[in-house]
Structures are given as C-alpha cells and as structure tokens.
Structure 1
Amino acid sequence: MNFSWWFANKIAFGKSSKNNLSTTIIRIGQIAVAIGIMVALITLSTGIGARKGIKQKLADFNGHITIKPYNSNLSFNSDSLSLKQDFYPNFRAVPEINHIQAIAVKGGIIRTKDNFSGVFLKGVGTDFDRVRFHNYITKGKFPIIGKTQVSNDVVIPEKIAKELHLDVDSSFVIYFSQNNGKPIYRRFQVSGLFSTDIKDFDDIYIIGDIKQVQRLNKWDSLTVGGFELFTDIEKLDEVALKVNENINFQLYAQSASTSFTQINDWIAIFDTNIFVVLFIMMIVVVINMVMVLLILILERTHSIGLLKTLGATNWRVRKIFIYYAVFIMIPGLVVGNVLGIGLLLIQKYFKIIKLPAENYYLSYAPVYLDIGYILILNICAIIISAIVLILPSYLISKITPNQAMKINQS
C-alpha cells in the first residue's frame, strides 16, 4: 500500500484527528465544500433542465425538423406539397427519424360577441403524435381526428380562451380570407385547452383537423402544407443535414434550433451562466481547501519534522498532506451531494419554485438529474483541488527537522 495514502488516511479518519486544534478549521472547510458542491449541482441541473425543457417544447409543438417547399413563402400559411414522398411515412434513408407527421396551416380571425383575435389553424391528421402533445393539455382533451370524417373540434391556448371568454365545449367562428377577397367562415368547437408557456405558440396557434385546411385551400386529401419530423433533441442540426441530403431539391428541411434563432440565442445564455457559477464555486472550494491545508501544515510542523528525521522525502510528506486535504473534502462532498440532490428531487416532483413563463418560457424551474454529470462534477472537484494543493504544499519543503524541533520546544 502507498505509505503517503495510508498515513494520510490514518490522520484524517483516525481517532487522533478528532480533538486537535484543527478540528474547527476542518469543519469550516467541509462546510464550504458542501455548500459549493450543492450550489454547483443545483446550477448544473436546473440550467441543463431549462435548456432541455425549452428546446423540447419548441420541438414538440413545431417538430424537431420541418420539411417545406423550397420556395415556401415567408408567411405562416402553408404552401401546397404532395403527401406522396419517399420519406413518408418512414424515413428509411435517415434512421434517426423516429416519427413523421403531415401538417397544414391557415390564418384567420376568431370573432366573438365582445372580442376578436388573429390566429392560425394548424391542421393535423391521424399520424399526429397525440401522446407527445398530451403534456401540454391543461383542460379537456385533444380532438379525435378521423380518416374521412371532418372534425370541427379544436384545442386552443389558455391565453386565447381567457381573452375571448371561451372554455371547453364553447363554440366560435373563424373568418378565413381567400384569394378572391371573399372571406369564408367556419364554426369550431373547443374540445380542450393547452399551454406551452411559449409566446410564439400560445398567442396565435389553434390545432384541429388537417382536412379543414385542405377544404379551405381547395386541396385534395393527398396535399399537405409540410411535414414535422422527430428525432433526438440533442442532434437536431446533424440530423437536419442528413435529411436535406435525402429529400427532393424542391424541398428543404429546417431544425427547430434554426427556426427559432432568437429563443435559441436566449437558451445559449444558460451555458454561460452555468460555466460562471461552476467556476466561482470551484474557486471558493479551492481557496477554502488551500487555507485548510496551510493551517494543517502549520499545526503539524512537529510531525513533518519527525517524518523527515525518519527519512521521508519532501515530496512524500507533501503527498501525505495533499491526500489528507482530499480526504477532508469527502464528508463535505457527501453532505453537499445529499442536500443538493434532495432539494432537486423536491423541486422535480413538487415544482415548488415557480417562474414567470413570459420571461423564461417555463412555468417552474425544471430539473435534469443525470448520474454521469454528478459523478463528473465530483471527480473534477477532487482532481482540481488535488492539483491546486500541490503549490501550497511546497511550504513543507521549507520546514527542516531542526526548525520543527525548535518550534515544538518553544
């Protein structure tokens, strides 16, 4: 067994270390480590959780990747596109795609007795992933979309429902403009309410039967406005590139991360915040451990002199105290992890901390817990501290046996 490791373990966890003068300093160092690792865990988990949560919402509502005609106009209204595509309903050329659904969008104005609102009817078919969207339903249910029968049921955002005094089972009329200038109106029934906390969606979109949009645009059943593709949320741009390489030149694919650049730029701020907080917490932990190590060296000057008298080299003694300081960190790391993970689990399941959705696109602080991140964070804290402690441990080289004995005698 390595002597330095064994000796450091004995003085760190042995009975002799319980009642010496350095106990208070050690406790302060352990508390600092616990607070540092706890804050770092919370920052990392909530930061990654927020980033993933917002990206997931963008992708769930609008598709991870969208395919549209290459000459598609800049408005929200869909251009026509044939449903008969080599990639639909299964994209065999890009196996990362796990689901495809056809959609079509048509703009109109909801009119009620006392208010109105401009909206876009997003038409979906029988291939729509209802399970994925179920998380955003707050009241009622998603419309039942049949293969032949046209459904008048729609789900609308809670915000629009509140502004127009609508609720589940309410009905309303939408006026759609046509190329000839004559509006067409359709009456719809509210089957459910939804909320994504993303203004771009909750302010303008309602979801209903794609056959309604096809009838309004005088399309046949094999004409749609575009396709939404779903894949791994962390590989959107990479998969979008593959999709573009395997579709007709008259089509183009766009990932959710490029469709909503403003929101994604805002999401990128989380990465900066996470790095800054982790850096500050690591500095705090390292400074505290350096102070603890220096005090331990000064407090155990006699022991250092005795070890050198017995033939221990400077580097061997330095390693003893570096290991000693690292061993002192362990209880602090354990307590910090327990407290941090405990608080995160409480937030994850009880959603105690709320957020203003209009600013954060989330109604509560999300939590992402991954054993890999936790282990890496703890290992990095130990390794960085051990490396940084090499420099202050150089003080040991300045202590000679004669000086140590003189200090002890005085």
Structure 2
Amino acid sequence: MKFPLYFSKKIAFSKDNKNNLSRVIVFIGRLSVALGIIVSLITVSTGLGSKKAIKEKLSDFSGHISIKSTRSNSSYNSTVLDNTSFYPEKIKSLPEVESIQKYATVSGILRNKDNFAGIIYKGVGKDFDALRFKKFLVAGVSPKISEEGYSNEIAVSQKIATDLNLKVKDSIVAIFSKENKNPIYRKFEVVGIYKTDIKMIDDLFIIGDINQVRKIQEMSQDEIGGMDVFLNNIDNIDDAFPKVEKLIGLKNYAEKATDKYPEIVEWINIFDVNIAIIIAIMLIVVVINIIMVLLILIIERTNSIGILKTLGTSNGQIRSIFINYTLLIMIPGIIIGNVLGIGLLLLQKYFGLITLNPENYYVSVVPVDLNPLYIFMISAGILLVSAISLILPSFLISKISPVKAIKYS
C-alpha cells in the first residue's frame, strides 16, 4: 500500500479524531455530502420518472407510433389508410414492435338531458389491447369488441363521466354529423370509465367499436382510419420509427406519440433543465463544504505536516494524504445519503405518499425511476468532483514551513 493512502487511513480512522475540533468539521462535511446525495437522487429519480411516466401514458393510450393517411391532416375524422405499399404484418414482425392495432375516429357530441360534451369516438377492432388499456380504468371494464355486428359498449373518461353525471351501465346518446347530411344518432352503454391524467385525452376521447365509425364514415368492412404501433420499450422509438416509415407507403405517414402533443413534450423537457440546475447547486454546496473541511484539517494538523516534512515527506505526498483523508471521511456520508435517499424513493414508488395535481403535472402521484446506473453515477460524480476541487486548496501545504509548523504546536 502506498504511504499517502496508508497514512490517510490511519488518521481518518484514528480514535483521537473523536476528541478534537475535527469531529465537528467532519460531521458537517459528511452531513453536506449525505444531503447532496439525497437531493440529487430524489431530483434525478423523480424527474426522469415523471418524463417516462408521461411518455408511457401517451404511448399506452394511442400507440408509440401512429400511422395515418396523409389526407387526414389534423382532422379528428379519419381518412382511410392507403393500402399501396403498406405492410402491417412486416411492421408487426419488427423486433422492436410488441403489437399493432387498427382504429378509426370520428368527432361528435355526447348529450343527455343535463349537459353535453364534444368528443372524439375512437373505434377499435378485435386486436384492441384491453390489457394495456386496463391500467387506465377506474371503474368498469373495457368495451368488448368482436367486429361482428355493432357493439354499443363504450369507455368514457372520468372527466366526461363527471361532466355528464355518467356511471357504469348508464346509457348516453351520441350525435355525429357529416357535411350535407342529417345528424346521425347512436345510443351507447357506458361499460368503463378511464383516467389518463392527460387533459388533451381525458377531455375528448371515448373508446368503442370500429364498426360504428365505419358505418358513420361510410367505410367498408376492411378499411381502417389508422394504426397504433406499440413497442417493447419506449426508449426504442427513435430506432423503430424509420423502420416503420419504410413500410407504410407514400400516401400514409407515421407520427410518434410524443409528436402529437408538442406542448407536453416541451413541458417535460423542462425537467432536464431543472435536474441540471439542482445537481449543479448540490455539487457547489458539497464542494464548498469539503474544501472547508480540508482547510480546517490542514490548519489543525499543521504540527503533523511539519514533522512529515522534517522526515523527508514531499509536498505532493502530504497533499495526497490530506486529499485521501478528506475523501475517506466523505464515504460514510455517501453511504448514509444513498440509504436514506433510496429508502425515501422506495416508499414513494410503492406507497405513492406524495401526490400531484394531474391538471398541472399530467400525473397524480410523483413517479420514481430507480436506475442503478444513475445512482452509481451520482455517488461517483460527487466523489470525483470533490477530489478534483481539493487539488488547488491542498497547495496551501507547500506554504507551511517545517520549523514554524513544529513551533506552532
């Protein structure tokens, strides 16, 4: 073992430290490190967790990638997908793709004797992923879709259900209109109530049978208005997107779930800025405290420095001793910070102790993403930055005269 590291361990774990001034200084240093770790862990885990949770909600409701006709533009009424050079089976066979499901949409109004609401009826087929949709249900079940005949079962959002005073098993009339034609009336039974916490979805969408849309839109039995593509992992969306685009034909276009709601994407990108600012502040606080610890330890052990210099120890070796010493006393702070930080995050992850207003944050409970890589990088990063920041103040040691240091004692 090299001499500086050996000597650092001796003084760092010496029992004498418990009875001198350094005890208070070491405690302050460890406390600042622990708080820095805790705040950084919470910031990163909840910030990235929120981004991931919101993106997954958008994707689970309408697919990670949606395929539409170029003629549909931004209309809520579907235009039939063009089948020329469109290969849904090849899309389904891509390694990044978990499943695909067809759909068609039409805009309308839900009305009862008390109130009305503008809606987008999203008709789905028998390939509808009811299991994926189940996570959004707060009451009832998903509509049963067989594509044989016309199902009158629908799932409405909790927002629409509240506005229209609807409950599971209630009936409601929907009105659809087409240009130059009489309004079309349909009576539906509410079998499910869902909640995504995404205002743009909850305010508008109801889920039902694709055959209802086909009849209203005068589409044939095999025509569809779009296709939702679900991936195995949302992180693969950038790799999968160009592959999907090659298989949809020239008269259709693909759109990422995040691109449908740019205002939400812009909002969640703010998390990156907030995370960077908070971690920077925590690093500055930790570094200032650790430098303070180092300087006080140097002053307190001026006599030891003088003796070491008298015995022939170089300034570089003495600097290494005190830098190693300071880093060693940080380790308990890092351990305590990780234990407390991870503990608090686990409590939030499994018990949802802290809630949010979904109208402002798009999630009702603070989500947590506990990534081992980020946990390691935070601890290693704080330790590395602290080590680098200690180099300059450690040069104070070279200014200490051995004779004066011994007399100082």
Q: TM-score, normalised by structure 1?
A: 0.96
2:55 corresponds to which residue?
A: 55
The answer to which of 334-343 and 226-235 deviates more is: 226-235
2:313 corresponds to which residue?
A: 312
Q: Distance in 1 between matches of 2:83 and 2:196?
A: 28
Unpaired runs of 5+ residues, structure 1, are none
Report if aligned partners of 1:83, 1:224 keep a CA contact under 8 Å in 2: no
Report if aligned partners of 1:124, 1:208 keep a CA contact under 8 Å in 2: yes
Report if aligned partners of 1:82, 1:222 keep a CA contact under 8 Å in 2: no
Q: Distance in 1 between matches of 2:304 and 2:237?
A: 60
What is the letter of the counterpart of residue 28 of structure 1?
I
What is the letter of the counterpart of residue 323 of structure 1?
N
Q: Distance in 2 between matches of 1:280 and 1:220?
A: 61
Q: What secondary structure does 1:155 align onto?
A: strand
The answer to which of 87-96 and 213-222 deviates more is: 87-96
Report if aligned partners of 1:82, 1:224 keep a CA contact under 8 Å in 2: no
Q: Distance in 1 between matches of 2:85 and 2:152?
A: 28
* Cα distance, 1:83 vs structure 2: 6.9
What is the letter of the counterpart of residue 225 of structure 2?
G
Q: TM-score, normalised by structure 2?
A: 0.97
Q: Distance in 2 between matches of 1:26 and 1:55?
A: 43
Q: What secondary structure does 2:97 align onto?
A: coil
Q: What secondary structure does 1:98 align onto?
A: strand
Render the CA deviation track for 1:364-387: whole Å, top value 9, x for unaligned.
111110111100110011011001
* Cα distance, 1:176 vs structure 2: 0.7
* Cα distance, 1:111 vs structure 2: 1.1
What is the letter of the counterpart of residue 2 of structure 1?
K
1:351 corresponds to which residue?
A: 352
1:171 corresponds to which residue?
A: 171
Matches within 5 A, 1:106-145: 106-145=106-145
Matches within 5 A, 1:196-235: 196-231=196-231, 232-235=233-236
The answer to which of 123-132 and 275-284 deviates more is: 123-132
Matches within 5 A, 1:323-402: 323-402=324-403
2:88 corresponds to which residue?
A: 88
Q: What secondary structure does 2:19 align onto?
A: coil
1:288 corresponds to which residue?
A: 289
Report if aligned partners of 1:156, 1:192 keep a CA contact under 8 Å in 2: yes
Q: Distance in 2 between matches of 1:400 and 1:150?
A: 94
Q: What secondary structure does 1:364 align onto?
A: coil
Q: Distance in 1 between matches of 2:194 and 2:84?
A: 31
Q: Distance in 2 between matches of 1:309 and 1:131?
A: 76
* Cα distance, 1:241 vs structure 2: 2.5
Report if aligned partners of 1:84, 1:222 keep a CA contact under 8 Å in 2: no
What is the letter of the counterpart of residue 148 of structure 2?
T
Report if aligned partners of 2:34, 2:336 keep a CA contact under 8 Å in 1: yes
Report if aligned partners of 1:168, 1:190 keep a CA contact under 8 Å in 2: yes
Q: Distance in 1 between matches of 2:16 and 2:83?
A: 79
What is the letter of the counterpart of residue 183 of structure 1?
P
How many percent identity over aligned positions?
Answer: 50
Q: Distance in 1 between matches of 2:118 and 2:228?
A: 24
Q: Distance in 1 between matches of 2:66 and 2:227?
A: 6
RMSD of Structure 2 on Structure 1 (CA): 1.5
Q: Distance in 1 between matches of 2:2 and 2:145?
A: 71
Report if aligned partners of 1:90, 1:99 keep a CA contact under 8 Å in 2: no
- Is 1:3 the counterpart of 2:21? The answer is no
Render the CA deviation track for 1:207-263: whole Å, top value 9, x for unaligned.
011111112112222100011112231232442223223331111111122221111
Report if aligned partners of 1:138, 1:194 keep a CA contact under 8 Å in 2: yes
1:279 corresponds to which residue?
A: 280
What is the letter of the counterpart of residue 17 of structure 1?
N
Report if aligned partners of 1:236, 1:257 keep a CA contact under 8 Å in 2: no
Q: What secondary structure does 2:72 align onto?
A: coil
* Cα distance, 1:71 vs structure 2: 2.3
1:41 corresponds to which residue?
A: 41
Report if aligned partners of 2:79, 2:225 keep a CA contact under 8 Å in 1: yes
What is the letter of the counterpart of residue 327 of structure 2?
V
Q: Distance in 1 between matches of 2:273 and 2:293?
A: 30
What is the letter of the counterpart of residue 342 of structure 1?
G
1:19 corresponds to which residue?
A: 19
1:251 corresponds to which residue?
A: 252
Q: What secondary structure does 1:221 align onto?
A: coil
2:266 corresponds to which residue?
A: 265
